[in-house]
């Protein structure tokens, strides 16, 4: 595998996720924090207009605009469509200054702690395993490449999404800000050591959560939600959910049970931005692997 | 004092505060829940357009549009200005069906639990004292009438704002939804008993927090914030803050202390919607009174 020449740290892909946006501002003021000897580090506030408006997006979700067919489609001209194409022209594989790895910083209203979202590429899984070995509180959520080919990080092969929560939209939480910064620092160190062909020795057992689908809220014919996340499931991301356990609570106070056949591990439970996407939670299976 | 003839329960004054909006939907489907013998109960989804857009407001904060001079100003024609005037035409003192009391349901990203915000009118303070006597977890935040004459509840003399948190914007949290519903139920019971001239006997010692000002984030010349709420202050609403205690943490990791002369009790700490208003927290003084 060739060396990593250019790494891009991204924040504010969603304008109301402040942690990433303010980390980008900090890195731009103090570039030595993200400087490494063997590669160039670029920072990007991905959706500045949405950040100023304190909204996830202006016209559509920027992190769903990066499918190749859409990037080539001149008829798509929303603010986010144009911005996605601009980012791709600069930093995509055939861009002016293509990047080899992306670290894209997000926050979630779900209680996902420090989460690394990655595809199944061995390089990325090994990066995730390293981050977990340095900080055992790091959760790793594996989403097949086919499920995220519309995302910003999909414009290059390597890297991951950093997803931190629970944080409400439109605000900063100092403890998670600092933990996210430390995670970026560790990821940059890993890429640097990779470039220098240092054999990193670390606990090679990775615990990860493999994406297995999504579950929507109960809704009426008009699409209005009819229930909330059950209090027993609230904030229980990465905990086991067994068949028969309460999942939702209707507005009238009736519990609705999880009816699957086997135990699963939900994540993105009660993510505010997913109400409109028809997702009350994502379902995963817990797995381990040796690296 | 005359009897209460009409009570209005309001939700969705801010479109991304779902608890109130979905409680209004529930009450409209099940009117018996808010029906009382001695008065008429009206429900209002105050900002339906902002609720659909999952935003606090479309053009400007509806809960700042109710000053009498603005309500009379025909040149003010933003969506929220017009909506405020419409609400006032229907339910204000000189409206078609004036209401005597308003219960306006809000949520906050601050950790304020179940809070009743009221002015100093003895009737409202006594209502607050009753709510606290039924549920000792109810916090009472007293804001002088002069500080909230722009708010929706200011169109009538009686009632209060219910402020519940911590809840992120754009989502529902089942436990707080149910606690808010119970609080509304108790408030309606109080108004009913008042009308029936029943002498309510309850623990008459009210603990409340008197508004004393606001504190902004440290900012640079461009108005950009330079620090976050300090982790030791995060979520510590209604707890004492003593001179010298850490208040903010700069992005570079430097603590900034509270420099006031005396102990205060901050509330609305890290409310997302207040970043743009220049408020990092509101400062109160803890007091007690007998009713």
Domain annotation covers residue A257 = yes
Complex-level ipTM beyond the 0.90 threshold: yes
| Cβ-defined contact of A172 to B228 (cutoff 8 Å) | yes
B167 plus B232 within the same structural domain: no
Q: What percent of chain B has pLDDT over 70?
A: 98
B163 labelled binding-site residue: yes
The predicted pLDDT at position B199 comes to 63
B105 plus B221 within the same structural domain: no
What CATH code is carried by the domain that includes residue A260?
A: 2.20.25.160
Is A61 in a helix, a strand, or coil?
Answer: coil
A37 plus A79 within the same structural domain: yes
DSSP state at residue B143: -
For the segment B102-116, the average pLDDT, to the nearest whole number, is 98
- Find the closest chain B residue to A228 by CA distance: B174
Domain annotation covers residue B291 = no
> Out of B26, B228, B276, whose CB is closest to A177?
B228
Q: Which of A170, A203, A236 is the last residue of a domain?
A: A203
CA–CA distance, A186 with A34 (Å, rounded to integer): 10
A142 plus A262 within the same structural domain: no
Residue-by-residue DSSP string for A5-57: -EEEEEE-SSTT-HHHHHHHHHHHH-GGGT-BTTBEEEEEES-HHHHHHTSS-
Is A275 near chain B, with CB under 8 Å? yes
For the segment B138-156, the average pLDDT, to the nearest whole number, is 93
Dihedral (CA of B147, B170, A117, A89) sign: negative
What CATH code is carried by the domain that includes residue A195?
A: 3.40.630.10
DSSP state at residue A175: H
| Cβ-defined contact of A174 to B276 (cutoff 8 Å) | no
Q: Where are the alpha helices (DSSP H) in chain A?
A: 18-29, 48-53, 68-71, 79-91, 122-134, 174-195
The pLDDT profile of chain A, 291 residues, written as one tens digit per residue, is 789 999 999 999 999 999 999 999 999 999 999 999 999 999 999 999 999 999 999 999 999 999 999 999 999 999 999 999 999 999 999 999 999 999 999 999 999 999 999 999 999 999 999 999 999 999 999 999 888 889 999 999 999 999 999 999 999 999 999 999 999 999 999 999 999 987 667 767 899 999 999 999 999 999 999 999 999 999 999 999 999 999 999 999 999 999 999 999 999 999 999 999 999 999 999 999 887
Q: Which stretch of A138-142, B124-128, B152-156, B204-208 has the lowest confidence by average pLDDT?
A: B204-208
B196 plus B257 within the same structural domain: no
Residue A13: CB atoms within 10 Å = 29
| Cβ-defined contact of B272 to A170 (cutoff 8 Å) | yes
Domain annotation covers residue B166 = yes
Domain annotation covers residue B287 = no
Residue A278: CB atoms within 10 Å = 13
A220 plus A255 within the same structural domain: yes
CA–CA distance, B22 with A227 (Å, rounded to integer): 10
A157 plus A274 within the same structural domain: no
Q: Which of B203, B230, B248 is the last residue of a domain?
A: B203
Q: Which of residues 124-183 of B touch A (CB under 8 A)?
A: 166-175, 177-178
Give the containing element (helix H, strand E) for B115: strand B113-118
| Cβ-defined contact of B174 to A234 (cutoff 8 Å) | yes
Is pLDDT of B266 > 90? yes
A225: containing domain: 212-284
> Out of A25, A169, A174, whose CB is closest to B228?
A174
CA–CA distance, B153 with B102 (Å, rounded to integer): 6
B54 plus B188 within the same structural domain: yes
| Cβ-defined contact of B109 to A54 (cutoff 8 Å) | no
Is pLDDT of B203 > 70? no
- Report chain B's mean pLDDT, rounded to a whole number: 96
The predicted pLDDT at position A203 comes to 67
B212 labelled binding-site residue: no
A54 plus A160 within the same structural domain: yes
Q: Tens digits of per-residue pLDDT, B52-101?
A: 999 999 999 999 999 999 999 999 999 999 999 999 999 999 999 999 99
Domain annotation covers residue B149 = yes
Q: Which of B203, B232, B261 is the last residue of a domain?
A: B203
A249 plus A166 within the same structural domain: no
Domain annotation covers residue A291 = no
Domain annotation covers residue B277 = yes
Between the CA atoms of A79, A82, A86 and A92, what dihedral angle is there, to the nearest 10 degrees?
Answer: 120
Sheet with B265-267: strands ordered across: B40-45, B6-11, B101-107, B158-165, B113-118, B139-142, B205-215, B281-290, B265-267
Q: Which of residues 56-95 of A touch B (CB under 8 A)?
A: none
Is B22 near chain A, with CB under 8 Å? yes
The predicted pLDDT at position A199 comes to 64
In the numeric block, the tokens 């950093």 are attached to A162
A36 plus A162 within the same structural domain: yes
| Cβ-defined contact of A170 to B251 (cutoff 8 Å) | no
In the numeric block, the tokens 């600092």 are attached to A178
- Alpha carbon of B259: minimum distance to chain A alpha carbons (Å): 20
Domain annotation covers residue A1 = no
Residues of B carrying an active site annotation: 163
In the numeric block, the tokens 């403890």 are attached to A175
Is B38 near chain A, with CB under 8 Å? no
Between the CA atoms of A69, A70, A73 and A78, what dihedral angle is there, to the nearest 10 degrees?
Answer: 180
- Alpha carbon of A47: minimum distance to chain B alpha carbons (Å): 17
For the segment B123-144, the average pLDDT, to the nearest whole number, is 95
* Token pair belonging to A167: 């944080």
B274 labelled binding-site residue: yes
Domain count, chain A: 2
B26 plus B43 within the same structural domain: yes
């Amino acid at each position: 595998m060739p060396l990593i020449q250019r790494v891009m740290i991204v924040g504010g892909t969603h304008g109301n996720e402040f942690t990433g946006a303010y980390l980008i501002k900090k890195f731009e003021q103090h570039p030595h924090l993200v400087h490494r000897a063997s590669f160039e580090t670029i920072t990007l506030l991905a959706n500045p207009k949405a950040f100023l408006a304190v909204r996830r997006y202006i016209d559509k979700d920027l992190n769903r605009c990066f499918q190749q067919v859409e990037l080539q489609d001149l008829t798509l001209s929303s603010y986010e469509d144009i911005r996605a194409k601009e980012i791709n022209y600069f930093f995509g594989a055939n861009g002016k200054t293509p990047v080899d790895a992306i670290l894209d910083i997000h926050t979630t209203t779900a209680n996902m702690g420090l989460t690394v979202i990655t595809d199944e590429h061995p390089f990325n899984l090994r990066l995730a395993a390293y981050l977990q070995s340095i900080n055992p509180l790091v959760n790793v959520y594996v989403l097949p490449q086919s499920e995220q080919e519309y995302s910003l990080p999909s414009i290059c092969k390597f890297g991951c999404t950093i997803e931190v929560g629970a944080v409400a939209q439109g605000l900063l939480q100092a403890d998670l800000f600092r933990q996210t910064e430390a995670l970026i620092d560790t990821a940059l160190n890993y890429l640097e050591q990779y470039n220098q062909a240092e054999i990193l020795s670390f606990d090679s057992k990775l615990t990860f959560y493999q994406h297995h689908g999504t579950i929507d809220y109960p809704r009426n014919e008009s699409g209005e939600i009819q229930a909330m996340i059950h209090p027993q499931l609230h904030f229980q991301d990465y905990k086991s959910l067994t068949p028969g356990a309460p999942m939702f609570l209707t507005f009238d106070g009736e519990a609705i049970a999880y009816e699957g056949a086997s135990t699963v591990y939900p994540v993105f439970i009660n993510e505010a931005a997913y109400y409109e996407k028809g997702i009350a939670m994502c379902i995963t299976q817990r797995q381990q692997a040796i690296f």
